Chains A and B, each alone.
Chain A
Amino acid sequence: MNLSDVTERISRKLESSGAQPDRQKIESRLRRLVEEFGVNVAEAERTVTGDLAREHNLPNLVSSSSDLRPINEIAPGEWVTIEGKIVSLTPSISPSIAQNGIIADSSGAMRFVVWSRANAPAMEYGHWYRIESAVVDEYKGSPNMKIHSGTTISQMEKDVPLLPSITPSAELAPGVGSVRAKVIQDWDVLSDRMLQTGLLGDESGTIKFVIWKEEGKEKLELDGVYNIYYATVDEYNGRLSLTLNTAMYIADEGDIEVGRNETEIQGALIHVAPGSGLIKRCPVEGCNRSLSRQNYCPVHEIQSNFRYDLRLKGVLDDGERARNILMQRDLVEKLTGITLDEAISIAESNPIGMDEIFYRVRNAVLGRYYTCSGGEFAGRMLVDSCAPVTFKPEELAALLNRAGGEVA
């Protein structure tokens, strides 16, 4: 830990209570404790904070690390005392970690780690503990409580049932979260260690989930609605995902109207990709993959009882960004004026077959302006609605004004 970071933290803490501390003084006091007296940084921070709080007459800061705090108010960098219930314990991934899991109170939940070197008593799932002088830092973008040798853990006699608060999926942040969601997609697992992966949705949007193989973990049912308590929320490449290994999930009644993370884009369709137009799909239930010209499915091999479908894979480009889009049959029919039945009969009576439909679709849409809205998924927009852009005289007038004030 860097002393200037600590200085900054102490200064902010005092400033937030209305004091105006001298940063140089703080740093020199810290340095003295750490370098001359060999005090560890965390302890030096506590001492200096306490001294300064007394000097500035801020008594409530002095006892900050022993004041009981609600979990959802704790930020990385704080020394805290909390009372919480162990709601999840996950197998340790390293010999230097004795235990890790999630601790919760009525305000929220947080991941924690107990270092082996802390020699702390093992905590049990479902029990309440008072944890004094633990330190909270940031791990992969979310707050994480570290229990070290200076932390006191005492088991409590309390057994208050906790009702985790459900968060809309669109408002989840890295850390721990509970959702009520429906399983809307169940994907193929690509790793031996993975039990299940797919997409969950609630009214506010969708989020990817993963369950790693572990004793006692069960799969979610496709289309089932679940209450998922204390899942781990991770961020990867700017996208959130839920890991359910820390979570308790219970099937729930009812259904959810899944909201989509809809975006709208307007631009010119500048590319129609191969695989657009009339395609054949694998008839095996739940497969639906598109077949090659020889009716070969990458999973189910030759399928001659295929069914036909229309789709459009292309690029919509607004001059600033080029985005991949995918449209299903109903939209392709609407934009091109060719129905699936017509497309089939044209293809079956034409010497170039399905290529003829590709050309007709391409000639109908390529180079034209459209407004598309839909959800973005794996770098591609799945278009729900699409309309041609129409010419609006007021836009022309506005642009003339913008270009021409002084010229006209």
Chain B
Amino acid sequence: MASAANSLRLCLRSCSQLPTMRAARPAILASSLCLRRALSTTPLRGAAAEETTFDEDEFLETKRYNNQGEVLADMLKREDLDDADRARVKDMLETWNKVPQDVRDQIDATTRQVRQSTAQIRYQVKPKKASFWNDDEKDTDMITDEVGEDDFEEDDILSIGHAKLEEHREAREYARIAVWEMPLLTKFARPFEPPTEAQPLRFRYTSYMGEFHPAERKVVVEFSPKDFPGLTEPQQLKLMKLAGPRYNPDKGLVKMSCERFEHQAQNKRYLGDLVQKMIATAQVSIPLGPCLCLDPTDMFEDVPLDTRHHKLTSKPRFPKEWRMSEERRAELESIRRTAFELDQKKQKSGRLVDGVKIIEKHLQNVPVMEDQPVMARRVGKQPARKR
């Protein structure tokens, strides 16, 4: 047992620096020992030492004091104490000695009592070795005691019912929003203002409601070359030719888009600048800014407007004139009546031509063919055939 006692001593010494922490966090202490000397065999031996029956109280009793008098008396024994302190300690000891004996005993008893009652929480909780993943360990952090919590007490509806209720609650919540809060949005409503003549460009943006999307940066601009009041007709034509396949001859609109830059605003700015450049190029007389072609006076008169990119499809519609109306019905009726009367009149006068009757009449008048003349028979016996 000598080696066991020795190891115990060593272990205790190592943790003697934190006498107050031991009681509070015994498990951490043990683990910290392991961490500190991972390759040492000492913790194992230490752990083995802990298994031995060791009365901690008895061991620590030597250093513990039951009252102030014992503390002061102990202090006087220390040699590193200077004279002034020593005199003060002596004074205090004298004062203590004047305390009546019964009070001293009472203080002693109280101190012992407190120590004894708190001794239990100072003990280290030992994990049971046989347990599976410390299954039976008490969870001291839990507020509830977990006992019988999931038991159905026959006093509640099922979880499906709860879910249904939740659904109702949600619907009601939105209904409340619709009724009470949505109408308040009208405060922010602004009347539609049609774009003025000074705003010929129509931009289109795409929003994904705050979500990131690669197409969010894209900006599309549409404009009609005829909407620029400063442009003459040949200039408008030049603008259309500059736009190339972006010009839709059916609608008379130029449509361009940009998603080259990271932000919507940058793309919009680019488009705006581009339109500005195109207009400047189309205007020969007043070149406003940078020009798109080499010779700004060239009006592309020798280049016909190319619309091959666009297929004009005419969708046949039911003509308005063909719609049946009361007047049309009456008109048809009168046409039919006239036709009928005409036929009647022709029939009465015998001028109605009937193909079948004509053929029949003709067949009656055809001279009947004479019967075939009967040929005279050959008289006499036929010569027998040679077989």
Whether A associates with B in a native complex is no
